[in-house]
Structure 1
Amino acid sequence: MFGFGTILYVSLLLVNAMAVLSEDRFLARIGWSSARPPNAGFQTYDQAQGQGEVGIKTKLIELISAVRTLMRIPLIILNSLVILYELVLGG
């Protein structure tokens, strides 16, 4: 009942969910935009000292941005394969 195929389906659905999130419409409204402030490249010495600590929110924002950038073509292929599998074998 709960096997390897189910885990693959759930992970594919979660990656799809991250890929379709709109940064302008949804993520920016809740403060999860990956856009950097205009002066992010220029840091003082005091700002650079606390840079070693990266929060979970920052890591999740970077993960969502990476999924949206890097997984676009592989997701199209994987979704097509899953659809064909479901149509042919009726999984």
Structure 2
Amino acid sequence: MADQNKSKAYWKENIRYLSILLIIWFLVSYGAGIIFKDALNDIKVGGFKLGFWFAQQGSMYVFVILIFVYVRLMNKLDKKYGYDE
């Protein structure tokens, strides 16, 4: 029974991490690239409007960063619940 509670707690925390990271990705890709594009276009980065940059490249960079963050979080979670190798 303790193993079952441990695995449920593990998956609950895993789903929480996934939800937070997916919300961040959504806000950056959809929010910054589409919804807030006009407001962000007032700011220039490297000669390009920031809204354009997020729509073209920024969301991909954030996605790759989120992958590394997820790996780090999952390694810590695995150690916390004893699932590391």
Structure 1 length normalisation: TM-score?
A: 0.34
Q: Which one has more relative contact order, counting CA pairs under 8 Å at least 6 apart?
A: 1
User: Where is the helix percentage greater, Structure 1 or Structure 2?
Assistant: 2
Query: TM-score, with normalisation over the residues of structure 2?
Result: 0.35
More strand by share: 2
